[in-house]
Amino acid sequence: MQRASSRSGGKRIVKRLEPLGEKLRRRLSGRRAFVFLDFDGTLAPIVSMPHRARANERVMRAITALAALPRARVAVMSGRPLSFVRQRFLARGLFHVGNHGLEMRGPGVTFRHKGAAVIRPTFQALAEKAKATLAGFPGVLIENKGLTMSVHFRRLPPSFRRRFNRSLAAFRLGTAALPIRWRRGKKVWEALPRVDWNKGRALTELLRRTGPAVPVAVGDDVTDEDMFKAVGRKGVSIRIGKSGSSRAMDYLPRQKDVPRFLTLLTEVLK
């Protein structure tokens, strides 16, 4: 008989969803859930061209069904611009969160971080300089997202990697005087405003604005750790893929397991 789960660094790796379903039923019995879902690597597979990322039909149907439940609120959380998230997820009642929580919109909520909005011109100039500085590296994509900027290098040929790392390190060092900070993700470096805000703060703010609910956070990358930290033991946190250093309490092995999890969560909350 297949084991339901195993351990990695003290965390539960869910191989079958039945035990996780039992945990959700205990935690959510008679209560409302606010479900926070990362986009890239969670709702959609990571692709080499970021603008081509899409959630498949199973995921879209599952999100629509979940968001329609009286006991559920659902937010799609992304490092992408708010406009990108809103265009791809049209289900009624959804909360859309862009730029790692710096901008949010949903029922009764309209938010843009004032400190980040003030330095928007900085990212325009930074993106232009990055394009000029890194123009010689094939496959590198500079994405100006208004309130943040990303340097994607997933398509960079391995033979360029060492020289690219040196050039990008020098470029980042040259931005030290700007009101920004850098953070690395999966095959991407991101420039963010130097403000005390992240996905975890956005999660907490949405809970504050919308009333009591048990937070359920699902993500796969470094920026999602802020969500897991904010959830703590108050709710449920799930990481896609193993990482012994993650703050998430449970793992799903693959992004392909997400539709099944969303369907399970819908059944629990009916």
Active site residues: 38
Pairing of strands 236-240, 188-193: unpaired
Structure tokens at 89: 């997820």
CA distance 251 to 246: 9
CA distance 206 to 202: 6
Q: Which residues pair with 192 in a beta bridge?
A: 181
CA distance 184 to 177: 19
184 alpha carbon, distance to own chain's centre: 14
Q: What is the 3-state secondary structure (H, E, C) of 175-229?
A: CCCCCEEEEEECCEEEEEECCCCCHHHHHHHHHHHHCCCEEEEEECCHHHHHHHH
